[in-house]
Structure 1
Amino acid sequence: MTTTATRAPAPTTASPLRREDADGVALLVLDRPGARNALSDAMLAALADTLAAIAQDRSVRAVMLAAEGPAFCAGHDLKEMTAHRADPDRGRAYFADLLGRCATVMQAIVALPQPAIAAVNGIATAAGCQLVASCDLAIAADDARFGTPGVSIGLFCSTPMVALSRAVAAKHAMEMLLTGDLIGAEEALRFGLVNRLVPAGQERAEALALARRIAEKSAVAIRYGKAAFYKQRELPLAEAYHYAAEVMTENMLARDAEEGIGAFVAKRPPVWER
């Protein structure tokens, strides 16, 4: 694959999110290291806009999320949230809107046509753990830590629970949510929250290598498969098989399936639709 690198145009003001594209992979870097990459209003807005653009970008075949500084993401910006307690409604409208915007971003990751891979360093807590759980795949540093510590400050991590409970077994999720304890990378791997561990400092390179391997596959097949994966697992068994058969039939009629099968029979490399 020919290497081409582009960088998104520099914004007029410092952005909390940086995007770099190369080899069909969009690298999104959370860039608020001084705030442990907390999901501020500006960060959520940048993520929402960038994910919407990527979803329409046929040149992007995989997405990778990483972070600058010693932490992946510490969750919501509690200082921003606390400031709204002075609102006439004690922040009710702001909190509801904030959590809705965060949920929209998490769902946008799941709905992306392209696979999303988290490269986790340091800590990923509360909505930061939710961000990892929302990604399709995750590579973590062997010293990374994960948690939903809201209960320790009187705020149950109810919205992070949605993604977490879909990524790990129920009893593991409940233990994390009820205790608020941080778990280490080995436990996160055992729980199924991450795919693999690497020595600290190598998580971004490992995630990028995985993203590039995926980017070499048929983007058409990946789009069919990712969407079908999330839909079928919410269906009863018989309905899931019926739905999956419909998807596979449509996929079989796509040009890339014809090309891929023909290339396999002819013992030549396939040329995928771009």
Structure 2
Amino acid sequence: MNLHHKPDAAPFLLREDADGIATLTLNRSPSRNPLSEGMLAALSEAFATIAGDRSVRVVILAADGPVFSAGHDLKEMSAHRADSDRGRAYFKDVLGRCSAMMQQITALPQPVIAAVEGTATAAGCQLVATCDLAVAGDGARFCTPGVHIGLFCSTPMVALSRNLSAKHAMEMLLLGEMVPADEAMRMGLVNRVVPAGEAPGEARRLAAVIASKSPATVKIGKRAFYEQREMSLAAAYDHASAVMVENMLARDAEEGIGAFMEKRQPVWRGE
């Protein structure tokens, strides 16, 4: 399935569905898969569609070529410096659309796994940090290099600071240096490092495990995880307890607990 393609251009995003797993592939390799206006629109549309698709249990986000994503399209953005407001309205609009797309990932009922080969820089690194899980080939590298060009990676900082410790996040943001895959795993930016070229396969393996669980339970859990993280400790426990009460009353929890006690495989209905 191709999203947002023009008759004279390749699609920005490729989608392939199999076994409850939707794989979205950034498809602008020659220009380093930037989060351009077109790519943001394609991603936003894809996530909006997937959010209401009960057949999709997990999403994998991958990229074609040697660069996962170089982040914002600086040529596209710089062209608007000629606007009467020096680009202020355009910058606000495109950054707002990018932030909205990132929040779509967090709000998506299905978990999203980044499969990273090559480099993920600036907003491309933000995209990896925003995904629920991330797998990297051992040649992958990560960077928030804005500090080198006078543009601090403030929006990538939001996702980074929610994945990494404060010291690690600030190290990436202040130094702007490339972080190799094994270091990114130590920092908490990625979950697994595998031999180069095997990230998509490992992402599919993890996705298959998740897809075997109750989709209703996964949806409840993902939403509660991000909600409680923004709360105080007491409020988080109150919220999580209320969520667990509702979860206990769900049909899949009754089935799962019953199957566990009866030593049989559960049959999920997604409710």
Q: Normalization by structure 2: what TM-score?
A: 0.97
Could you tell me how far apart the structure 1 residues matched to 2:127 and 2:262 are? 42
CA deviations on 1:98-147 (whole Å, 9 max, x unpaired) are: 00000000000010000000000100000000000000000001111001
CA deviations on 1:188-214 (whole Å, 9 max, x unpaired) are: 011000001000000000001111110
Task: Determine whether 1:128 maps to 2:127.
Answer: no
**Which runs of structure 2 are paired with 1:29-44 in the superposition (5 Å)?**
29-44=25-40
Equivalent residues of 1:8, 1:20 under 8 A apart? no
Match of 1:45 among 41, 57, 61: 41
Task: Determine whether 1:237 maps to 2:233.
Answer: yes
Which ranges of structure 2 fall in alignment gaps of 5 or more residues?
Answer: none
Displacement, 1:265? 1.3
Three-state SS of the structure 2 residue aligned to 1:20 is strand
Q: What is residue 188 of structure 1 aligned with on the other side?
A: 184
**Which runs of structure 2 are paired with 1:77-116 in the superposition (5 Å)?**
77-116=73-112
Matching residue's letter, 2:43: L
Equivalent residues of 2:62, 2:116 under 8 A apart? yes
Q: Normalization by structure 1: what TM-score?
A: 0.96
**Which runs of structure 2 are paired with 1:56-75 in the superposition (5 Å)?**
56-75=52-71
Rate the CA distance shift 1:23–1:247 in 2: closer, same or farther, 3 A. Answer: same
Matching residue's letter, 2:156: P
Equivalent residues of 2:2, 2:11 under 8 A apart? no
CA deviations on 1:166-224 (whole Å, 9 max, x unpaired) are: 01000110011111111111110110000010000000000011111101100010011
Which ranges of structure 1 fall in alignment gaps of 5 or more residues?
Answer: 1-6
| Number of residue pairs matched by the alignment | 268
**Which runs of structure 2 are paired with 1:1-274 in the superposition (5 Å)?**
7=1, 11=5, 13=7, 14-274=10-270
Equivalent residues of 2:12, 2:39 under 8 A apart? yes
Equivalent residues of 2:224, 2:240 under 8 A apart? yes
Identity of aligned residues (%): 66
CA deviations on 1:217-254 (whole Å, 9 max, x unpaired) are: 00010011000001111111111111101000000100
Matching residue's letter, 1:175: E
Equivalent residues of 1:132, 1:138 under 8 A apart? yes
Could you tell me how far apart the structure 2 residues matched to 1:31 and 1:93 are? 28
Displacement, 1:40? 0.8
Matching residue's letter, 1:190: R
Three-state SS of the structure 1 residue aligned to 2:258 is helix
